[in-house]
Structure 1
């Protein structure tokens, strides 16, 4: 049995203690790492609840339930941060990426604890693929929120679109990695490929907001 609450405390407590001794952007980054881990823990409970409520099997839950729960819960702290603290729009992508990194780190540690760490090659692929997926969704949600809330008329529909896009990418990834052969490999590769495209766009077109 995997006691994810114990794993959470082991990982989160050092970061929480560090918050008392650091300031500025480093403190915010560490805080959002902890928030990402917390969201990962809570989303496991929520996904399990809906899985039991609808009587879904593991494959159905991974494709249809988990993406909605995880991406919806990752978006909520980002919206709270923007609406309550009113940061500059260019600060949102970094916050969203830190949150996604915390989520992916906790998820991977739980996976290692449950399945062991014998197969280094598979774990490396999974770490890069799953990590890239969460970072991809973090980039999309951070940049998306920073843009749609600059246009109040687009706030509600834009937020729904961001959630839909992140959920769609997440569901496609989960669907592909449950397949066999080339489809599974495509699932492992496409988050990194999309991140590479976004990185090129950010440099060539100034796609992401910059600090002044």
Structure 2
């Protein structure tokens, strides 16, 4: 039964002791296969541009608000501006073995008062996409938002036509919430936005699934997964 107030109206759960959450900081988050560092153009831009340039064409930029970039200098100018931003707060994904930056992602639309935060600007190079590193990068940022900062809601939004992004959201454990029609204009196009979220009470089970999937024993000698992330969550 829902809670009611003195007027017999249904109301939400009380938030005793709630206080605004901290802003995300310029932190380094270390994992087994990758780490996240605050984006720094001087340290990361050249490696990132080289990593993105491995793609055969510009399709990876279609559903992003920026790019593609036609030169390392052009990308560096973008990275210099992005590193100054605190919302979005951009992080570079660093491969642990090589120490090279291979992608970026950010925490954005940060709402400390309500404990809501979004992961966005996910820009993964061919080296990073569909890899263990990409999953661990997402896990590290989720864990930072829920476990360290104490946010209640973690959002994923994308163009409703972006099938790979929508598939990735579901694989990572986000719940689909609906379509916001004509929500955005970008790159001269109208965008219907698909909304997904994870909330704090779902996080402990999702976290356990990520940790089990990321464990070295879940991968064979060729680096192939023994069980899927979904199977780990269901277990």
Give the structure, 1 or 2, with the largest relative contact order (CA under 8 Å, sep 6 or more): 1
TM-score (norm 1): 0.30
TM-score (norm 2): 0.28
Quick check: which has more Rg, 1 or 2? 2
- Structure with a larger share of its residues in helix: 1
